[in-house]
Homo-oligomer: A and B are copies of this chain.
Amino acid sequence: MESLLLIFKALSDRNRLRILHALVAQKELCACQITELIQVTNATASRHMGVLINANLVQRRKKGRWVYYQLHTENQGVENVFTWIEKKLKEDPEALLDLISLEEITRCGPEEICKKHKTLKFCSKQ
């Protein structure tokens, strides 16, 4: 009962659902990329990631200063939740916009977006 509640609570926030969806699409993301995607402070993004980890939906690995997050696919039975979310958001406008942003964030971004540029530079060091 507790683990189910943790999962549902974790996913009942819009930004966390967006993060989860992004991880379905992109397998692994760095903290700064997530921060950029959902447009909150790094502190808020970090808090959110803690909730997803605590719910056993996401895993974390550290490489130097950088922290990378992936879906916790070894968590039994949770994979169909990920599939279900992917399916449900397949044609959702907001979710599609996120995927477009994600492309930019994880690829060479425009130089005028100083923060994004920095983000790309650091994260491609993996």
Q: Residues on A close to B: CB < 8 A?
A: 1, 3-5, 8-9, 11-14, 17, 77, 80-81, 84-85, 87-89, 92, 94-95
Partner of A84, one of B9, B12, B81: B81
Residues of B within 8 A of A85 (CB): 4
- Give 15 CB contacts A-B under 8 Å: A1-B14, A1-B17, A1-B92, A3-B88, A4-B85, A5-B12, A5-B13, A5-B14, A5-B17, A8-B8, A8-B9, A9-B12, A12-B12, A77-B88, A80-B80
Total copies of this chain within the assembly: 2
Instruction: Decide: B17 and A89 in contact? CB cutoff 8 A.
Output: no
Closest 8 CB pairs of A and B: A8-B12, A9-B12, A8-B11, A12-B12, A1-B94, A1-B92, A8-B8, A4-B88
Instruction: Please measure, in the bound complex, the distance between the C-alpha atom of A80 and the C-alpha atom of B78, giving whole angstroms.
Output: 12
The interface residues of chain A, by DSSP majority, are classed as helix
Q: Closest residue of chain B to A94, judged by CB?
A: B1
